[in-house]
Amino acid sequence: MRAVLQRVTSASCTVDGQITGQIDTGFLVLLGVEDTDTAEDAQWLSQKIVGMRVFSDENGLMNKGLADVDGNILLISQFTLFAQTKKGNRPSFIRAARPDKAIPLYEKMIELLNTLTGKTTATGIFGADMKISLVNDGPVTITMDTKNRE
């Protein structure tokens, strides 16, 4: 799994003119699922996301976590995170998991984030044409990949 985590002061997802998920302070997480990913990858990544200390403390240092700032998560599925761009100008998405594999892992990630935060994770709609709006705070943007744990 690959995630792009953005610290935001607000973020929302709109599908067909309707807001499907929105948050104030917290993380916008773009999540890509690879064909070799497992529930163990979702477990590791969800714990890393929830434990990430990138919110400012009283001294302006990134020492606070999501719970410390009463933050929320907006989780968006994004298969394009596995784009391969070595050849030509049209990216290949061959490494991205097909929906029959990706949807259950996306749903597992939602469940894990809900459990770890004790809150409902805001979401987009898997496979939909989504419009994402955000105010990146910092800006702070971090990439994580479950294949690079060590």
Residue 30 confidence (pLDDT): 98
Residue 33 confidence (pLDDT): 97
Segments in the chain below pLDDT 70: none
For 1-150, where are the alpha helices, taking DSSP H only?
39-51, 99-117
Residue 149 confidence (pLDDT): 81
CATH for 7: 3.50.80.10
Residue 69 confidence (pLDDT): 97
* CA angle at 125 for the pair 120 and 131, rounded to the nearest 5°: 105
82 phi and psi angles, rounded to 5 deg: -105, 25
Q: Smallest Cα–Cα separation from 75: which of 109, 115, 25? A: 109
Task: Please confirm, yes or no, whether 80 is among the known catalytic residues.
Answer: yes
Question: Using an 8 Å Cβ cutoff, are 81 and 32 in contact?
Answer: yes
Provide the token pair at 69: 């700032």
Residue 134 confidence (pLDDT): 98
Q: What's the domain range around 22?
A: 2-148
Catalytic site residue from 36, 38, 80, 143: 80
pTM for this predicted structure: 0.94
Say how many domains are in the chain: 1
Report how far residue 112's alpha carbon sits from residue 13's, in angstroms, rounded to the nearest whole number: 20
